[in-house]
Amino acid sequence: MIYDLAQPHYSHAPQFPRQPPNTIGYQQLAVVDGATVERCTFMTHSGSHVDAPFHYLPHLPCIHELSLGHFYGACVALDLRGLPPSHPIDADDLRKHEALVTANTLVLLKTGWGEKRGNSREFLTAGPYMSGSGAQYLLDRNAKGMGIDGLSTGGYPDPHAEADAHKLLLGANKLLLEDIFIPDALLDGKRRHFAAFPVLIANAGGSWTRPVVWDDGDLDTESSAQELARKIPSSVAQAIALQRSIA
Protein backbone atom coordinates (compact mmCIF):
# COMPACT_ATOMS: atom_id res chain seq x y z
CA MET A 1 0.00 0.00 0.00
CA ILE A 2 1.13 3.54 -0.80
CA TYR A 3 -0.28 6.24 1.49
CA ASP A 4 -0.67 9.83 0.35
CA LEU A 5 0.05 12.24 3.22
CA ALA A 6 -0.37 15.46 1.24
CA GLN A 7 -2.79 18.24 2.05
CA PRO A 8 -3.85 20.01 -1.17
CA HIS A 9 -3.16 23.52 -2.37
CA TYR A 10 -6.10 25.61 -3.54
CA SER A 11 -7.18 29.24 -3.40
CA HIS A 12 -7.61 30.39 0.21
CA ALA A 13 -6.41 27.06 1.60
CA PRO A 14 -5.53 27.20 5.32
CA GLN A 15 -2.11 28.55 6.23
CA PHE A 16 -0.31 30.01 9.22
CA PRO A 17 -1.92 33.22 10.57
CA ARG A 18 -0.65 36.58 9.34
CA GLN A 19 0.31 35.24 5.91
CA PRO A 20 -1.46 36.46 2.76
CA PRO A 21 -4.06 34.14 1.23
CA ASN A 22 -3.17 31.61 -1.43
CA THR A 23 -4.49 32.22 -4.92
CA ILE A 24 -4.53 29.67 -7.73
CA GLY A 25 -6.33 30.53 -10.95
CA TYR A 26 -6.32 29.93 -14.68
CA GLN A 27 -3.95 32.10 -16.71
CA GLN A 28 -5.32 30.57 -19.90
CA LEU A 29 -7.86 27.90 -20.79
CA ALA A 30 -7.72 25.06 -23.28
CA VAL A 31 -11.16 25.93 -24.67
CA VAL A 32 -9.83 29.37 -25.66
CA ASP A 33 -6.05 29.11 -25.99
CA GLY A 34 -5.51 25.44 -26.75
CA ALA A 35 -3.91 24.62 -23.38
CA THR A 36 -4.76 25.23 -19.75
CA VAL A 37 -2.13 26.99 -17.61
CA GLU A 38 -2.47 27.94 -13.95
CA ARG A 39 -1.04 30.95 -12.13
CA CYS A 40 -0.20 30.37 -8.45
CA THR A 41 0.64 32.76 -5.63
CA PHE A 42 1.27 31.10 -2.28
CA MET A 43 3.79 30.89 0.52
CA THR A 44 6.48 28.21 0.59
CA HIS A 45 5.25 27.25 4.08
CA SER A 46 1.68 26.47 3.00
CA GLY A 47 0.10 23.13 2.25
CA SER A 48 2.26 20.08 2.89
CA HIS A 49 5.83 21.34 3.06
CA VAL A 50 9.26 20.74 4.53
CA ASP A 51 11.36 23.21 6.50
CA ALA A 52 15.04 23.76 5.90
CA PRO A 53 17.32 24.87 8.76
CA PHE A 54 17.62 28.25 6.98
CA HIS A 55 13.96 28.87 7.91
CA TYR A 56 14.99 29.89 11.44
CA LEU A 57 18.79 29.78 11.34
CA PRO A 58 20.15 31.75 8.35
CA HIS A 59 23.70 30.41 8.75
CA LEU A 60 22.46 26.85 8.12
CA PRO A 61 21.44 25.11 4.86
CA CYS A 62 18.66 26.19 2.51
CA ILE A 63 16.41 23.71 0.71
CA HIS A 64 18.75 23.41 -2.27
CA GLU A 65 21.73 22.69 0.02
CA LEU A 66 20.18 19.60 1.64
CA SER A 67 20.86 16.14 0.23
CA LEU A 68 18.11 13.94 -1.15
CA GLY A 69 18.81 11.57 1.73
CA HIS A 70 17.49 14.22 4.10
CA PHE A 71 13.99 13.68 2.70
CA TYR A 72 13.48 9.91 2.77
CA GLY A 73 13.96 6.99 5.13
CA ALA A 74 12.05 5.05 7.77
CA CYS A 75 9.00 6.43 9.56
CA VAL A 76 6.51 5.49 12.24
CA ALA A 77 3.24 7.16 13.27
CA LEU A 78 2.28 8.00 16.86
CA ASP A 79 -1.34 8.35 17.97
CA LEU A 80 -1.56 11.65 19.87
CA ARG A 81 -5.26 12.18 19.33
CA GLY A 82 -7.09 13.38 22.40
CA LEU A 83 -4.65 16.12 23.29
CA PRO A 84 -6.41 19.37 24.17
CA PRO A 85 -6.25 22.43 21.91
CA SER A 86 -2.97 24.39 21.99
CA HIS A 87 -1.30 21.58 23.93
CA PRO A 88 2.52 21.72 23.94
CA ILE A 89 3.63 18.16 23.10
CA ASP A 90 6.35 17.45 25.64
CA ALA A 91 8.75 14.67 26.55
CA ASP A 92 6.17 12.96 28.75
CA ASP A 93 3.70 12.76 25.85
CA LEU A 94 6.33 11.19 23.62
CA ARG A 95 7.76 8.91 26.30
CA LYS A 96 4.48 6.97 26.25
CA HIS A 97 5.51 5.84 22.76
CA GLU A 98 9.18 5.33 23.60
CA ALA A 99 9.41 1.92 21.93
CA LEU A 100 8.46 3.51 18.59
CA VAL A 101 10.76 6.54 18.75
CA THR A 102 13.98 5.01 17.49
CA ALA A 103 17.17 6.29 15.90
CA ASN A 104 17.00 7.60 12.33
CA THR A 105 13.22 7.23 12.16
CA LEU A 106 10.89 10.06 11.17
CA VAL A 107 8.14 10.38 13.78
CA LEU A 108 4.71 11.23 12.34
CA LEU A 109 2.50 12.85 14.96
CA LYS A 110 -1.23 12.34 14.45
CA THR A 111 -3.02 14.85 16.65
CA GLY A 112 -6.31 14.64 14.76
CA TRP A 113 -5.94 18.19 13.46
CA GLY A 114 -5.48 16.94 9.89
CA GLU A 115 -9.16 16.01 9.80
CA LYS A 116 -10.07 19.50 11.05
CA ARG A 117 -8.20 21.28 8.24
CA GLY A 118 -10.07 24.41 7.22
CA ASN A 119 -10.19 28.14 7.82
CA SER A 120 -11.53 27.88 11.35
CA ARG A 121 -10.09 29.51 14.45
CA GLU A 122 -9.62 26.05 15.96
CA PHE A 123 -7.50 24.70 13.12
CA LEU A 124 -5.54 27.88 12.42
CA THR A 125 -4.64 28.86 15.98
CA ALA A 126 -5.29 26.04 18.46
CA GLY A 127 -3.54 22.90 17.25
CA PRO A 128 -1.25 20.85 19.52
CA TYR A 129 2.38 21.70 18.77
CA MET A 130 5.88 20.51 19.55
CA SER A 131 7.42 22.07 22.66
CA GLY A 132 11.09 22.57 23.38
CA SER A 133 10.91 19.67 25.84
CA GLY A 134 9.42 17.37 23.21
CA ALA A 135 11.97 18.47 20.62
CA GLN A 136 14.81 17.72 23.01
CA TYR A 137 13.36 14.25 23.61
CA LEU A 138 13.41 13.58 19.85
CA LEU A 139 17.03 14.72 19.74
CA ASP A 140 17.94 12.50 22.68
CA ARG A 141 16.36 9.54 20.86
CA ASN A 142 18.20 10.53 17.65
CA ALA A 143 14.98 10.59 15.60
CA LYS A 144 15.36 11.63 11.97
CA GLY A 145 12.81 14.37 12.49
CA MET A 146 9.07 14.80 12.77
CA GLY A 147 5.94 15.37 10.76
CA ILE A 148 2.72 16.81 12.15
CA ASP A 149 -0.86 17.03 10.90
CA GLY A 150 -1.26 20.63 12.07
CA LEU A 151 -0.18 23.80 10.30
CA SER A 152 3.21 23.99 11.97
CA THR A 153 5.71 22.35 14.26
CA GLY A 154 5.33 25.36 16.54
CA GLY A 155 2.36 26.94 18.30
CA TYR A 156 0.48 30.19 18.01
CA PRO A 157 0.66 33.03 19.02
CA ASP A 158 3.47 32.92 21.62
CA PRO A 159 6.88 33.49 19.97
CA HIS A 160 8.56 30.80 22.10
CA ALA A 161 5.82 28.29 21.30
CA GLU A 162 6.36 29.01 17.62
CA ALA A 163 10.16 29.00 17.60
CA ASP A 164 11.65 26.79 20.33
CA ALA A 165 11.14 23.36 18.71
CA HIS A 166 11.93 24.72 15.26
CA LYS A 167 15.30 26.03 16.40
CA LEU A 168 16.25 22.91 18.33
CA LEU A 169 15.34 20.46 15.59
CA LEU A 170 16.46 22.50 12.60
CA GLY A 171 19.67 23.39 14.42
CA ALA A 172 20.39 19.66 14.61
CA ASN A 173 19.60 19.25 10.89
CA LYS A 174 16.41 17.27 11.53
CA LEU A 175 13.62 17.00 8.96
CA LEU A 176 10.42 18.93 9.70
CA LEU A 177 7.32 18.01 7.69
CA GLU A 178 4.24 20.14 8.30
CA ASP A 179 0.54 20.33 7.36
CA ILE A 180 0.17 16.68 6.41
CA PHE A 181 -2.59 14.10 6.67
CA ILE A 182 -1.85 10.88 8.58
CA PRO A 183 -4.23 7.98 7.80
CA ASP A 184 -5.47 5.89 10.71
CA ALA A 185 -4.05 2.83 8.95
CA LEU A 186 -0.54 4.01 9.86
CA LEU A 187 -1.25 3.86 13.61
CA ASP A 188 -0.31 0.20 13.93
CA GLY A 189 3.21 0.75 15.26
CA LYS A 190 4.78 -0.54 12.05
CA ARG A 191 7.88 1.05 10.55
CA ARG A 192 7.44 2.00 6.91
CA HIS A 193 9.27 3.88 4.20
CA PHE A 194 8.62 7.55 3.51
CA ALA A 195 9.69 10.16 0.98
CA ALA A 196 8.97 13.89 1.05
CA PHE A 197 11.15 15.33 -1.70
CA PRO A 198 10.77 19.10 -2.02
CA VAL A 199 10.45 21.28 -5.09
CA LEU A 200 14.00 22.52 -5.66
CA ILE A 201 13.75 26.21 -4.78
CA ALA A 202 17.07 28.04 -4.52
CA ASN A 203 17.87 29.98 -1.35
CA ALA A 204 14.61 29.02 0.38
CA GLY A 205 13.77 28.08 3.96
CA GLY A 206 10.94 25.77 2.94
CA SER A 207 9.37 24.06 -0.02
CA TRP A 208 6.21 22.23 -1.04
CA THR A 209 6.22 18.45 -1.09
CA ARG A 210 3.91 15.53 -1.77
CA PRO A 211 4.85 13.15 1.07
CA VAL A 212 4.16 9.46 0.64
CA VAL A 213 4.58 6.39 2.84
CA TRP A 214 4.72 2.82 1.60
CA ASP A 215 5.02 -0.71 2.91
CA ASP A 216 7.93 -3.06 2.30
CA GLY A 217 7.97 -4.49 -1.18
CA ASP A 218 5.25 -2.31 -2.65
CA LEU A 219 7.66 -0.54 -5.01
CA ASP A 220 9.76 -3.61 -5.80
CA THR A 221 7.50 -5.07 -8.50
CA GLU A 222 6.55 -4.08 -12.04
CA SER A 223 2.88 -3.76 -11.13
CA SER A 224 1.45 -0.69 -9.44
CA ALA A 225 0.85 -0.87 -5.71
CA GLN A 226 -2.56 -0.21 -4.20
CA GLU A 227 -2.97 3.45 -3.23
CA LEU A 228 -4.71 5.26 -0.40
CA ALA A 229 -4.99 8.66 -2.06
CA ARG A 230 -6.06 12.03 -0.67
CA LYS A 231 -9.12 13.84 -1.99
CA ILE A 232 -9.51 17.57 -2.35
CA PRO A 233 -12.52 19.25 -0.68
CA SER A 234 -15.74 18.87 -2.68
CA SER A 235 -16.17 22.65 -2.92
CA VAL A 236 -12.76 22.88 -4.61
CA ALA A 237 -13.45 19.93 -6.91
CA GLN A 238 -16.56 21.70 -8.21
CA ALA A 239 -14.34 24.30 -9.93
CA ILE A 240 -12.81 21.74 -12.28
CA ALA A 241 -16.23 20.22 -12.90
CA LEU A 242 -17.41 23.64 -14.04
CA GLN A 243 -14.45 24.02 -16.41
CA ARG A 244 -15.11 20.60 -17.93
CA SER A 245 -18.78 21.39 -18.42
CA ILE A 246 -17.75 24.50 -20.41
CA ALA A 247 -15.41 22.42 -22.56
Mean pLDDT of 121-135: 98
* Residue pair 227/1 in contact by the 8 Å Cβ criterion: yes
| pLDDT value at residue 122 | 97
* Residue pair 15/7 in contact by the 8 Å Cβ criterion: no
* Residue pair 1/226 in contact by the 8 Å Cβ criterion: yes
pLDDT at 20 exceeding the cut of 60:
yes
Strand extents, DSSP E, the chain: 2-4, 23-28, 37-41, 49-51, 72-79, 88-89, 105-110, 129-130, 145-148, 175-178, 192-195, 206-208, 212-214, 227-228
| pLDDT value at residue 247 | 57
* Residue pair 129/178 in contact by the 8 Å Cβ criterion: no
Each residue's pLDDT tens digit, 52-80: 999 999 999 999 999 999 999 999 999 99
| pLDDT value at residue 219 | 65
- Who's near 221: CB < 8 A, 6+ residues apart? none
Each residue's pLDDT tens digit, 134-172: 999 999 999 999 999 999 999 999 999 999 999 999 999
Percentage above 70 pLDDT, the chain? 96
Mean pLDDT of 3-9: 96
pLDDT at 44 exceeding the cut of 80:
yes
Q: How far apart are CA 12 and CA 73, in angstroms?
A: 32
Each residue's pLDDT tens digit, 193-207: 999 999 999 999 999
Each residue's pLDDT tens digit, 206-245: 999 999 999 987 666 667 788 888 888 888 888 777 667 7
| pLDDT value at residue 40 | 96
Q: What is the DSSP string of 104-125?
A: TEEEEEE-SGGGG-SSSHHHHH
Mean pLDDT of 25-33: 92
